[in-house]
Structure 1
Amino acid sequence: MRASEDQLRSWMIGGLDGDADAHAALLRALVPILRSFFGRRLRGASDDVEDLVQETLMAIHSRRATYRRDLPLVAWAYGVARYKLIDHFRRARQMVSIDGLEDILISEGFEEACAARIDIDRLLGGISAKQAKAIRDTKVEGLSIAEAAQSQGVSEADVKVSVHRGLKALAARLRGAS
């Protein structure tokens, strides 16, 4: 039987207040919830599911101080799990050989991709360089917020704000162009 949201929150708050037994009970109760979460997303990959459950439990333990007591615990735990799942997918990217790349590029429409790149450059040219860099790093190049922040030498919050404001400016510009 799964613990209720109220019971989970109670254990989390108890753990935050120094009750080791409450913290242990919370982590035990989260195991089936996390297994179900990852199992629905990684069908047939039971080893990966168990690894992700353990990684998420460790992250919940190490980041428990970030939990806000007035918010639902399960939603917070799912947020941590979601980031672990994204990290898993990034690690699982497959590498491919580039032998015969020229032939593939010609047959796959590389020229169209170059034109799209030019369009992106032109579009991003209409906003601040900081916002354009944040959008290019996160939305075009696929870097995480943390990776983009590290490469730019700024905080993660700064990257998030720049992306948000840049996308908002682009949307306003596009609405005005239509």
Structure 2
Amino acid sequence: MTSSEPDLDALMRAGQAGDAEAHRALLQHVSTRLRSYFRNKLRRSGAGLDEVEDLVQDTLLVLHTKRHTYDGSAPVLAWTYGIARYKFIDHLRLNARSLRNVHIDDVDDLADEDRYAAVDTSRELHRALAKLPRHFRLPIEYVKIEGLSIAEAAARIGMTDAAVKIGIHRGMKKLAAALSETRP
């Protein structure tokens, strides 16, 4: 981090505490980085650059609406780029023509995502979740669906933070396996 760059983690914490100016500064700084990220990704995929601003705004919207779920366990930029990566993959899925021209470095990202492809219907997901044991189902529901932090989910369930993390990890594997069995 150079001296001219703000401390994004501090801006996020201040924004979570209600400092609107810090939150605005965070979004403004991150948007510059996201524009560069998406320009590069779109150029490498062979797609036009006309979607850059839409992808930036979609990512910023998630950052804004889900900032309460950020727990500080990773740097803000890592969290942001994780969200951006999913937004980009969603964009490629919606625009299948782009998949013909995906750069070789991006193939692994897409292949990883295909293993956990989006569920066709909410009903299918809820049926698979309902079959999981409580110690897997509740951590996934609270953290991944409701957006609670690990600590909040642990307190609500009566488990340790580590048990919640393990429950999510193992539960997601079981959920992915169950969903892949139901798909043709």
Which band: TM-score by shorter chain? 0.5 to 0.7
Secondary structure of 2:72's match? coil
Structure 1 32/40 Cα, relative in aligned 2: closer, same or farther at 3 Å?
same
Matches of 2:176 and 2:124, distance apart in 1: 18
1:143 to 117, 122, 126: 117
2:56 to 53, 58, 61: 53
- TM-superposition CA deviations, 1:3-37 (whole Å, max 9, x none): 64x61111111100000000000000011110111
TM-score by length of 2: 0.55
Q: What's the % identity of the aligned pairs? A: 36
Matches of 1:149 and 1:3, distance apart in 2: 45
Matches of 2:122 and 2:173, distance apart in 1: 11
- TM-superposition CA deviations, 1:73-104 (whole Å, max 9, x none): 1000001101111111111125xxxxxxxxxx
Matches of 1:28 and 1:73, distance apart in 2: 13
For the pair shown, the structure with the greater C-alpha radius of gyration is 1
- TM-superposition CA deviations, 1:29-77 (whole Å, max 9, x none): 0111101111111016222111100110011001111111242110000
Matches of 2:81 and 2:15, distance apart in 1: 18
Matches of 1:90 and 1:2, distance apart in 2: 39
Matches of 1:57 and 1:76, distance apart in 2: 12
1:41 aligns with 2:51: no
Higher alpha-carbon deviation: 153-162 or 55-64: 153-162
Q: Contact 1:9/1:73 (CA < 8 Å) preserved in 2?
A: yes
Q: How does 1:120-159 map to 2 (within 5 A)?
A: 139=115, 143-144=117-118, 147=120, 150-153=123-126, 154=129, 157=168
Pairwise CA RMSD: 3.0
Matches of 1:30 and 1:7, distance apart in 2: 11
Q: What count of residue pairs does the alignment treat as equivalent?
A: 119
Matches of 1:92 and 1:62, distance apart in 2: 25
Using CA pairs under 8 Å that are at least 6 residues apart, name the structure with larger relative contact order, 1 or 2. Answer: 2
The one-letter amino acid paired with 1:143 is A
Give the match for residue 127 of structure 1: none
Moved over 4 A (4+): 146-150, 155-159, 163-166
- Structure 1 unaligned segments of length 5 or more: list them: 95-137, 167-178
- TM-superposition CA deviations, 1:152-177 (whole Å, max 9, x none): 422565762216778xxxxxxxxxxx
1:67 aligns with 2:41: no
Structure 1 8/152 Cα, relative in aligned 2: closer, same or farther at 3 Å?
closer
1:80 to 64, 80, 83: 83
